[in-house]
Structure 1
Amino acid sequence: MAKHGRYPGFQPGVGNASDARLKSGVTTVLCDASTVAGVQILGGAPGTRETDLLEPHNSVDVVHAVVLSGGSAFGLDAASGVQAALRERGIGLEVGGFRVPIVPSAILFDLRNGGDKDWGRYPPYRELGYEAAQTATADFQLGTIGAGTGALTSGLKGGLGSASTLLDNGVIIGALAAVNPTGSVTTG
């Protein structure tokens, strides 16, 4: 049974794109104009793009999307696909007559999960990012989809998970994670 996430009242939402042959994918959260994001970077070999902008002392105080991607360092290309989709819609920070979509991203390592990684000259993550941006909705799937497609936890399936709450003042607090830890797994 597919699990679904929902951020009530949040538009435009979350989009996923997966490649079954590759056993990898991309998840993006498209944000409205008032979205403020935060980040905590963990892991032994983190890979990120534009997450430094999320520090409170920096001058950029809004994000237009956030991307989670499989593919290790190759997955950082996914943010370029999301930026392209947002730019087509005229969404971005106004900078000297240009619109620059602010799209922080993070990746997880799923290169050794059995998927076909012989993609040729360019990895497919830019196109997967574009597709994820085009499919964003307020209701979205969780589990083995998007950035969680190829996630493994000591040989067990990892995946995409989410939690959110709507406060009395209308503010939504949400968390979205693609989980791919290493180490021992205890069940029961």
Structure 2
Amino acid sequence: MRNLITDVAGLKVGSAHDPLLASGVTALVFDAPATASIAISGGAPGLRDAALLEADMTVQQIDALVLSGGSAFGLDSVGGVQAALRESGRGFDVAGQLVPIAPGAILFDLANGGDKSFWREPAYWRLGHAAAQAAALDFRLGSHGAGHGATVVDLKGGLGSASGQTSDGFRVGALVAVNAVGQATIGETGHFWAAPFERDGEFGGLGWPAPLPANALALKMKGAAPQNTNIAIVATDAALTKAEAKRVAVMAQDGLARALRPVHAAMDGDVVFSAATGRAEGPVDAIALTRIGAVAADCLARAVARAVFEAEPLPFANSLPSWRQKFGPRGT
């Protein structure tokens, strides 16, 4: 077990970023078309091809999912991923033409100090193409891919992942780019809100502070502008219908709520994709589906904390510090 979403059989993840642009793209590529759906809880989402994930839409399976920085400009990254997929012979066959299906979501990282003078060049298309080509079982967390330019209110954000398994034996994993309006940590401490769900000290092993500091519940936010978004994918090796995948996506949103405060706000674009590769045998009844959704939420909470824990600061004036810069190895 890698403690990555790639512990779910049937998918790989690749990332690419541009240090001068201070942004990047992460692509999750399925080995074979997979069933997928989506749950949107933020008030300002940025999406491409998301409507086709609803249960009543014609296309039943997809080839990839894309997470990108760059706000609306980052939606170009989907085209780059599609190009890489088509080059490898992937896609939905329409009148003899292959059309890879790769829904995507974006986050806002245009104010992080990077050089954003890319308006006349397809920067995100190129990053999407590179991310898809880099897809592998192992990938780096923190300031990589879609998490390269991400931030939370007081710390550097990043790319996170985690995995688990249900009591039925189904593998579940989460992947997230954390760019939250609020905090992943408690008050002014280095303790993570997601601490009760941590496994094997994966983000410091600090637990919750006891007692909670007096300012623990004070809200800290970036501001009223829609410059935030947590974009995530949860996946399982179970065989699910689109409607069942939708329920998993809805349940997995709770993982964001366990790890970030506040979340799902008017100025957030919080989105969770869910996918099922169908590689595992065994029936999925209502109880098994509920277990998958519950583990997906736990994995997503852990992935959020890992994203912040593993992040490195951007090399620009006035950039937010990383968790390790601010708190050191003990998180105090």
- Superposed pair shares fold, TM > 0.5: yes
User: Does the CA contact (< 8 Å) of 2:15 and 2:26 recur in 1?
Assistant: yes
* Identity within the alignment, %: 53
Tell whether 2:164 aligns with 1:165: yes
User: Does the CA contact (< 8 Å) of 1:150 and 1:159 recur in 2?
Assistant: yes
SS in 2 for 1:26: strand
- Map of 1:71 onto structure 2: 70
Deviations 1:121-167 (A, max 9, x none): 12400000000011000111111100000001014111111122356
Cα displacement (A) at 1:177: 1.0
- Map of 2:114 onto structure 1: 115
- Map of 1:104 onto structure 2: 103
Counterpart AA for 2:75? L
Deviations 1:72-108 (A, max 9, x none): 0000000000000011111001111111100000000
Moved more, 52-61 or 77-86: 52-61
Counterpart AA for 2:98? R
SS in 2 for 1:153: coil
Cα displacement (A) at 1:6: 5.0
TM-score (norm 1): 0.90
- Map of 1:82 onto structure 2: 81
- Map of 2:139 onto structure 1: 140
User: Does the CA contact (< 8 Å) of 1:18 and 1:25 recur in 2?
Assistant: yes
User: Does the CA contact (< 8 Å) of 1:4 and 1:142 recur in 2?
Assistant: no
Could you say which structure has the higher helix fraction?
2
Aligned-partner Cα distance in 2 for 1:168–1:34: 26
Counterpart AA for 2:141? L
SS in 2 for 1:66: strand
Cα displacement (A) at 1:168: 7.6
Counterpart AA for 2:23? S
Cα displacement (A) at 1:44: 3.1
Counterpart AA for 1:140? F
Query: Moved runs in structure 1, 4+ residues, more than 6 A?
Result: none
SS in 1 for 2:42: coil
Moved more, 38-47 or 126-135: 38-47
TM-score (norm 2): 0.52
- Map of 2:36 onto structure 1: 37
Higher RCO, 1 vs 2 (CA within 8 Å, ≥6 residues apart) = 1
Aligned-partner Cα distance in 1 for 2:9–2:67: 18
Aligned-partner Cα distance in 1 for 2:3–2:73: 27
Counterpart AA for 1:162? S
Structure 1 residues 170, 35: CA separation in 2 closer, same or farther (over 3 Å shift)? farther
User: Does the CA contact (< 8 Å) of 1:8 and 1:166 recur in 2?
Assistant: no
Aligned-partner Cα distance in 1 for 2:152–2:14: 23
- Map of 2:48 onto structure 1: 49
Counterpart AA for 2:54? E
Structure 1 residues 53, 120: CA separation in 2 closer, same or farther (over 3 Å shift)? closer
- Structure 1 residue runs without a partner (length 5+): none
Q: Answer with 1 or 2: which has the greater Rg.
A: 2
